Structure 1
Amino acid sequence: MSTRMEDRELTWYEGIKDALPTFIGYMSIGIAAGIVGASSNFSVLEIGLLSALVYAGAAQFIIFALLVQGTPISVIVFTTFIVNLRHLLMSMTLAPVLTKYSLLKNIGIGALLTDETFGVAVTRMAKKEPINDRWMYGLNLSAYAGWIMASVLGATAGKWISNPKAFGLDFALTAMFVALLVLQLQNLKESRLKLYLTLILYTAILMFILSMFVSISIAVLLSTIIAAAIGAVMDR
């Protein structure tokens, strides 16, 4: 029975169906991103292109803020690179089950991978359920289309919302990641939950200490990297 399940070829449609919760989530966060972008004096076209070409929610919120402040392009590119560096680890996690596909297909899958679609894929892997290239493309492209549509809708609506912070829209992405964290913690064993909560505490302490010597943005990056390294050693 398990062998037949592993050999079964998943379809695009199944990937699209599994992407539905992500698609719905992206509609809300994408609209918020579009509104924030519009309030930062970006045009609908610029926001749409940014969503299509960068396709990274956290990075887009950061780019809006940095460009408004007149930050040099080199700093923006480097910051975006650091923020999205986690995608390297996510892609490496999925790589072993996708090695049978061509390099071009893997590039396409990796380029559209996000935290949420990775979560859907890795959950199937944890349940010993199969994934394949068609399923991944259905999953990724559905989420991609949803994000672009939502960003454009938000950019259009943003013309009538001068201060998105008054509605808490600038906190929308952070709220989504907090919700994802809570959902992950709920399904953990007690020993692993203690480990992760300890690492979160380490991160907060390191962030506080490092912020006395460097900027808060650098402190966040350094404390996260150090805590992740500690976690890798403790988790073995």
Structure 2
Amino acid sequence: MNKKVFVNAVKAIMPMCIGDFPFSFIVGALSITMGMSVWQSTTWSCIVLAGSAQMVALNMLKNGANLGIIILTTFIVNLRHILYSASVSSHVKTAPLWKKIFLSYALTDEAFAVTIKELGENKASKYFYYFTVMLTFWFFWVLANFMGAVVGAAVPHIEKYGLDFAMIAAFISIVIPQIKSQACTVAAVVATMSGVLLVVLPYSLGILIASLLGVIAGLCVDLAEEKKNLASSLEKVA
């Protein structure tokens, strides 16, 4: 039984492991250009396990942002995980505390996408399935980061090879598929335009302000859509 669940879980997450491998490799390589050692980069990847946050942090470090601004910005970037947690919480209410801690640690975009259906079906093997997905993705993510850091440390002046552009391209490739509604579209457009207009601000404050403006704009559109749908439903009832 567990063998079948293990195989199914690995098969489900493997395409995302392969897709994210270059992403983590780039993060590892670029972290070396920011002054990290190979082991610092690898440990950072083990703890954070969040590609978008790591890329944003590296870009802000490159532009001389202070630690407080970096922490606040990466916090805003990762706010989407609150929604993931809300979706998962109803399926893991009876889980012991230690399981919930590990569930929250590994709640990445990829893990959520692959496991939410399995958790919702409330099978006896759902936690084994989740942890298999989590550990498989974690292993390949950290391995890619380590390999990227080793290459970054071995190649002199690796920052001259334009890997920072690859980082931006990878981030765009992650964001674009998530734009599936009017609210997301508005948030993306507002954040992008604000980021371009505010690029002159010091300490990468433009990224922080643009992120906040994007979130606020998307929320306003989402609330307006809900209000419109509610009014439409009341009219039908009347």
Q: Is TM more than 0.5 here?
A: yes
Provide the C-alpha distance between the structure 1 equivalents of 2:27 and 2:68, rounded to a whole number of angstroms. Answer: 22
Task: Please say if 1:218 is aligned against 2:236.
Answer: no
Structure-2 residue corresponding to 1:178: 172
| 1:145 shift after superposition | 1.1
Q: Once the two structures are superposed, what CA deviation does each residue of 1:107-135 show, in whole Å capped at 9, x if it has no partner?
A: 2011111122222234x379x76672111
Task: Please say if 1:36 is aligned against 2:26.
Answer: no
Structure-2 residue corresponding to 1:85: 79
Q: Answer yes or no: is the 8 Å Cα contact 2:183–2:222 preserved in 1.
A: no
Q: Once the two structures are superposed, what CA deviation does each residue of 1:62-105 show, in whole Å capped at 9, x if it has no partner?
A: 33344455544333333332322322221112211222322221
Q: Answer yes or no: is the 8 Å Cα contact 2:17–2:141 preserved in 1.
A: yes
Cα 1:213/1:180, change in 2 over 3 Å: closer
Provide the C-alpha distance between the structure 2 equivalents of 1:152 and 1:90, rounded to a whole number of angstroms. Answer: 28
Task: Please say if 1:105 is aligned against 2:93.
Answer: no
Structure-1 residue corresponding to 2:235: none
Q: Secondary structure at the match of 1:108?
A: helix
Task: Please say if 1:121 is aligned against 2:109.
Answer: no
What TM-score comes out, normalization by structure 2 length? 0.75
| 1:174 shift after superposition | 4.0
Provide the C-alpha distance between the structure 1 equivalents of 2:66 and 2:183, rounded to a whole number of angstroms. Answer: 39
Within the candidate set 57, 65, 69, 1:63 is matched to 57
Q: Secondary structure at the match of 1:12?
A: helix
| 1:150 shift after superposition | 0.5
Alignment root-mean-square deviation, CA: 3.3
| 1:235 shift after superposition | 4.3
Letter of the 2:92 partner, please give it: L
Provide the C-alpha distance between the structure 2 equivalents of 1:208 and 1:72, rounded to a whole number of angstroms. Answer: 20
Matches within 5 A, 1:15-30: 15-30=9-24
Cα 1:184/1:226, change in 2 over 3 Å: closer
Q: Answer yes or no: is the 8 Å Cα contact 1:12–1:137 preserved in 2.
A: no
Cα 1:154/1:129, change in 2 over 3 Å: same
What are the ranges of 5 or more consecutive residues in structure 2 without an aligned counterpart?
227-238
What TM-score comes out, normalization by structure 1 length? 0.76
Provide the C-alpha distance between the structure 2 equivalents of 1:54 and 1:195, rounded to a whole number of angstroms. Answer: 28
What are the ranges of 5 or more consecutive residues in structure 1 without an aligned counterpart?
1-9
Letter of the 1:118 partner, please give it: F
Identity across matched positions, percent: 25
Q: Secondary structure at the match of 1:98?
A: coil
Structure-2 residue corresponding to 1:197: 185
Provide the C-alpha distance between the structure 2 equivalents of 1:44 and 1:235, rounded to a whole number of angstroms. Answer: 48
Cα 1:203/1:61, change in 2 over 3 Å: closer
Provide the C-alpha distance between the structure 1 equivalents of 2:43 and 2:12, rounded to a whole number of angstroms. Answer: 26
Cα 1:81/1:198, change in 2 over 3 Å: closer
Task: Please say if 1:76 is aligned against 2:70.
Answer: yes
Task: Please say if 1:230 is aligned against 2:220.
Answer: yes
